[in-house]
Amino acid sequence: MARLKTAVLISGRGTNLQALIGACADPSFPAELCLVVSNRPDAEGLRRAGAAGIATRVIDHKGFADRRGFEAALDAALREARAEFICNAGFMRVLTEWFVERWRDRQINIHPSLLPVFPGLDTHARALAAGVRIAGCTAHFVRTEVDAGPIIAQAAVPVRPTDDEETLAARVLEAEHRIYPRALRLIAEGRVTVVDERVHIEGAAEPRGVLINPADS
Q: How long is the chain?
A: 217
Strands (E) across the chain are located at: 4-10, 31-38, 56-58, 85-88, 107-111, 134-141, 151-158, 192-195, 198-201
Torsion from C-alpha of 62, 106, 33, 93, nearest 10 degrees: 20
Please answer whether residues 111 and 127 qualify as being in contact, where contact means their C-beta atoms are separated by less than 8 angstroms: no
**Stretch (H or E) spanning 43:** none
Please answer whether residues 9 and 90 qualify as being in contact, where contact means their C-beta atoms are separated by less than 8 angstroms: no
Q: What is the CA radius of gyration of the chain?
A: 17
Active-site choice (111, 124, 140, 177): 111
Q: Using CA atoms, how far apart are residues 149 and 144, in angstroms rounded to an integer?
A: 8
Q: Using CA atoms, how far apart are residues 175 and 94, in angstroms rounded to an integer?
A: 24
Report the candidate in 26, 142, 148 with the shortest Cα–Cα distance to residue 86. Answer: 142
**Annotation marks residue 111 as catalytic:** yes
Q: Which residues are marked as active site?
A: 111
